[in-house]
Chain A
Amino acid sequence: MMDSALLQARKVTVGYDGSPVLNQVALSVGSGSLIGLIGPNGAGKTTLIKVLSGLLAPTAGQVFLDGKPLAAWGRDARARAVGYLSQSRLVHWPVTVERLVLLGRLPHRGPWDRLSDEDATAVDTALLATDVESLRHRTVTTLSGGELARVLLARVLAGGPKVLLADEPVSGLDPGHRLQVLEGLRSLARRGCLVMVVMHDLTLASRFCDRLVLLDHGRLIADGSVDEVLHMDRLASVYGVDAVSVTRGDEQAILPWNQVPG
């Protein structure tokens, strides 16, 4: 099980004595699942995503991708394997949607390569998968927040990553678009991609994710199914809330209800 894991964090620590941002986090995830990375503000979720994607080197410990230390991967090879969707949706120049999505192909193209059939197909597929094909020739500055979020997701998908690490991909979106983006991520996972998503919305996390990883104060304190991770005692101790469980068909979701005095 440990050896077949696609992405592994071994005793990852970030920061120094006192209160490290991440403290000895150990995690092992395989392909084909949608994993929710949850935890209160300041728990270290964004830091963990950055370490797993190779953007931040851990102070101690190591990350392994396909059994090989992430640091030993070449930059381009790593960029082809791991897609990272930043929390920031700031696009600095008013380029077209198509051009923006095409940036996802950069790790696949040599500096002087012309656009290949493969590049064009990957962009087309990504635009269709995120339902933004009709926006192809629009300038990104004219998009709504929901459209831009989907276009940025298409940019990552165009790279065809084996691992997709997304930092709050649905924050700031209306309910319809949240469901749409998460449905898209889940179907991506069903097709064999490892998708890990930082989320604040416990209701959506519990409804969509196959597995939840809970961080608090830089430590991984729970890792498993929704029932294992989000039971009432833990919601009270970590988030300071109590919650109700909602069921429809065979799906279940957690709905935070009251703040509890802690």
Chain B
Amino acid sequence: MSSAIFKVNSTGRGRPQAILLSVLAVMVVVLSVVSLFTGRLGFGGIADLLTLRAADPETFRILLIEIRLPRTFLALTVGATLGLSGAVLQGLLRNPLAEPFILGASSSAALGAVIVFYFGIAGGSALATPLGGVAGAMVATALLLSLGGRMQEPLTLILAGVAINALAAALTSLALNLAPSPYAALEIVFWILGSFADRSLEHVVFAVPLMVIGWVLLFSTWRCLDALTLGEDAAASLGFNLAAIKIRAILGCAFAVGAAVATTGVISFVGLVVPHILRPLVGYRPSRLLPSSMLGGAALMLAADIGVRLIDTQLELKIGVLTALIGTPFFFHLLLVIRRSGS
């Protein structure tokens, strides 16, 4: 068979794709290990931990299983969630600026979690808070797609996101205002800033299954995302049920982002930056971007969470603050690029 497609597919593009995924996977594994051995006091080597295990097995168990492991595992899964949902939203809306934070899903999830937690709905149980986040993110994503489903202009969609963010911020302010005690209000503010510190195995047990449900729904859109390169009419003519795909994306984002935000607070821009960096490496194919963005998001989140523990500040820097500081200039850069290209 002399067809160039086979040459390209078997030797030209297929292998770099496998290499990219392998490199990202190795990064995730290495960063997970480093994360497990990193504390506020710096990187404690394996030798230190082994000494601790010999000297004080109970402290070792608490440190590794109850403090470090949930933190590492949440950084990995939340990063994967943000990378994946950014890639799906960008493919679905054909807009490089689409991202759970910019589009208001994250802040709405935070609002949902705040309402459930601080106003004691369902007794403020460990599962109720993530479900509150899921509900908040679901309302926001559905509202966004009904407002902006046909918006082709990137900036118009961002305006819809601004409106949803503003609404979520207003209602969160109201919740702060009405919070039972000033301490509760302060706690909300610190929680919203986003962090993986002081999370327990219980958080992991309740949030991760919800995130996995979200991942499955998000991944189920992959073929249609490729077809959407040609626009909605062409994708429909290729046999895709766009209404069903959008519902799966809404529910997927709601479960994954809602559960992530309800557990860790708002972590911005990861879903924007990761797909943007990886897109040229997958030949701009939206379906190929999903697994790599997932791994890339996990790697970035693990690295950032190692970073906040190593940066020497009096109070540990919140990871949401770090990603916002790095992500905002990137967002400005993208806006300028889009304005210049006139699309």
Question: Using a CB–CB distance below 8 Å, which chain A residues touch chain B?
Answer: 50, 53-55, 75-76, 78-80, 82-84, 86, 88, 90-96, 98-100, 102-104, 106-107, 111, 115, 117, 119-121, 123-124, 136-137, 152, 155, 159
Contacts and interface: CB of A to CB of B under 8 A. Distances in A.
Given A91-B230, A137-B8, A155-B230, 15 more contacts: A55-B233, A75-B241, A86-B234, A88-B231, A92-B231, A95-B283, A96-B283, A99-B283, A103-B230, A104-B238, A106-B223, A117-B1, A124-B5, A136-B4, A152-B230
16 contacts: A75-B241, A78-B239, A79-B238, A79-B239, A82-B237, A88-B233, A90-B152, A92-B230, A93-B229, A99-B285, A103-B238, A106-B238, A106-B239, A119-B5, A124-B3, A124-B5
B282 to A, nearest CB: 10
Nearest to B5: A120
A91 to B, nearest CB: 6
Given A79-B237, A84-B237, A102 B230 contact: no
Nearest to A88: B231
A92 B234 CA distance: 12
B79 to A, nearest CB: 24
Interface of B: 1, 3-6, 8-9, 94, 152, 223, 226-231, 233-234, 236-241, 279, 283-286
A33 B6 CA distance: 34
Main secondary structure of the interface of B (DSSP, over half): helix
B231 A106 contact: no
Closest 10 CB pairs of A and B: A79-B239, A84-B237, A92-B94, A120-B3, A75-B239, A93-B284, A120-B5, A76-B239, A107-B239, A86-B233
A261 to B, nearest CB: 38
Given A79-B239, A117-B1, A106 B6 contact: no
Contacts of B226: 103, 106
B231 A86 contact: yes
B334 to A, nearest CB: 15
Nearest to A120: B3
A102 B6 CA distance: 12
A49 to B, nearest CB: 10
B240 A75 contact: yes
Given A55-B236, A82-B237, A120-B1, A95 B8 contact: no
A120 B229 contact: no
B6 A120 contact: yes
Nearest to B2: A124
A172 B289 CA distance: 33
B340 to A, nearest CB: 14
